[in-house]
Structure 1
Amino acid sequence: MDISIDPASATPPYEQVRLRIAALAAAGDLSAGTRLPPVRTLATDLGLAVNTVARAYRELEHAGLVETRGRAGTLITAAATGTPRAAQQAARRYAETTRTLGLTPEAALDLVKAALTA
């Protein structure tokens, strides 16, 4: 993930992190479901305090751009990527249906890929 902090900027570091992650998601460089680095890892990589990165993640979550799932980490949401809500709902319904039918995630994805190329 390409994030850098400009210490001379008037924009606080947490806001620089927040803006960059949001921009990467909106541009499609971070797709829905992409797991962000753990707070401590990103803080170390950027030379920031853990609380600074944690605040950026909290603000992203409050805006609905990421979702924190405990040990599963912090993930980019479909909303952050500009995916229309109707498409998000269709994907959820499809996932529920394929699970009910007993398909593996790989088989369900193969069906979608085949349908999209047909």
Structure 2
Amino acid sequence: MTAGITIDLGDPVPPYEQIRRQLSSLIAVGALPPGSRLPTVRSLAADLGIAAGTVARAYRELEQSGLIEARRRNGTIVVGPAEVPHGNAGADAAVMAAVDGLIATARHAGFRDETLVDLLRGRLAQTSKLDS
């Protein structure tokens, strides 16, 4: 099971970071809710055709950020963040609807997914500077 994870070896983003980002996103949108078991490091590495150390690094970073937990006998489990941010389900649904709308609009306009992500990161960086 790769959980829809793909690696683009031509992407300048390191493979471990590609895995981390994709798993983090799947957890954030609820596609991997708390309690979900992730594939073993070796299994995911074999499925993706990459070194086990690459997957292990992604898992370590996800664990450090509190999204997953490695348990000796139970494997690696998703532990967060499926709860609704700030306890406001309406706001969470509105944000998800806005993201879905953004994706649909960008695809209709012919944007590649990677371009959309880059644009979003750029705008987030700009607004972070304004908020400071």
* TM-score for the superposition, normalised by structure 1: 0.67
| Residues in 1 aligned to 2:76 and 2:31: alpha-carbon distance in whole angstroms | 16
Aligned residues: 85
CA distance in 2, matches of 1:61, 1:19: 13
> Cα distance, 1:31 vs. partner?
0.7
Secondary structure of the residue aligned to 2:77 is: strand
Residue in structure 1 matched with residue 123 of structure 2 by the alignment: none
Aligned 8 A contact 1:26 1:82 in 2: no
Using the TM superposition, give the Cα deviation of residue 84 of structure 1 relative to its aligned residue in structure 2, in angstroms: 5.5
Residues 29-83 of structure 1, C-alpha deviation per residue, up to 9 Å, x if partnerless?
111110000000000000110000000000000000101111201111132x344
Residues 70 and 85 of structure 1: CA distance in aligned 2, closer, same or farther (over 3 Å): farther
Pick the structure with greater CA Rg: 1
- Identical columns (%): 51
User: Aligned-pair RMSD on alpha carbons?
Assistant: 1.6
Runs of 5+ consecutive residues of structure 2 not aligned to the other structure: 88-132
Q: Structure 2 length as normaliser, TM-score? A: 0.61
Task: Identify the residue that residue 92 of structure 1 maps to in structure 2.
Answer: none
Q: Which residue of 2 aligns with 1:47?
A: 49
Q: Which runs of 5+ in 1 are unaligned?
A: 87-118
SS of 1:71's partner is: coil
